[in-house]
Structure 1
Amino acid sequence: MGRIGFAPGSAAIDDAAAAELRAAWRIAAARDESLALVAGTDQGTALATARLEAASRRLAEMGAPATRIARIQAPAGSMAPDFEIFIAPTGGIR
C-alpha cells in the first residue's frame, strides 16, 4: 500500500507519514479490512518498536481500532524497508 520514510534514527510521524497512514486507514475501513504495519529492524529492534508504536498511536487518533492493526517487525537483513503499510483481510494477519 505505502511506505513511510523516517529520518535515520527517528520514530517521529511527520505530516507526510500521517497522510500516508490516513489514506491507508480510509481504504482499509471502506473495505472492512485491516492494516499490517511492517517495520524493518536493520536499525535495531528498539527503533522498529518505537516506529510501530508511533504509527499505531497516530492510527488510534484517527479512530482505527487496535484489533484492526497488526504490528510486525521484519528481521534484520531481510531487505525490508524502514516501514511499510499493507492492507489485508480482517482476521487474516497472524
Structure 2
Amino acid sequence: MKKIVPDPPAPSSRGLTAHTHFACCDGDHPPLFAVCAGAEFDKAMVHLIVMLRSAYETNLQACDTVKDNHLAGMLWATQHTLEASRALAESMMKGIEGQARV
C-alpha cells in the first residue's frame, strides 16, 4: 500500500529560543520588548556574546572613571561577573560549533 501523506520533517536537534519579554516597568501596559521564539541557539548565542562584550566594555569604562571606593568595589564585582558570563557564553558557543562539525 502506498502512503498518500509524506512523513513530517524530522525535528531539529538544535535548541530554539522561547518567547520571553523583558524591560517590564510593572506598568499597566503589556511589555514593549521581547526575545522572539524560534531563533536557533547558536544565532542567539552570538547576540548574547555581543551584548556581554558591550556591557563589559561599558562597565570597564565606569570602573576606570569612578572615584568612590565603595562604588568602585561594586563595579569591579560586576566586571568580574560580566567576564565570567562572557567566558561561559563563548565556551557554550564553541561547544555548539563543535557539535555542528561532528
Q: TM-score, normalised by structure 2?
A: 0.26
Query: Which has more helix, going by share of residues?
Result: 2
Higher relative contact order (CA 8 A, sep 6+): 1
Give 1 or 2 for the bigger CA radius of gyration.
Answer: 2
Structure with greater proportional strand content: 1
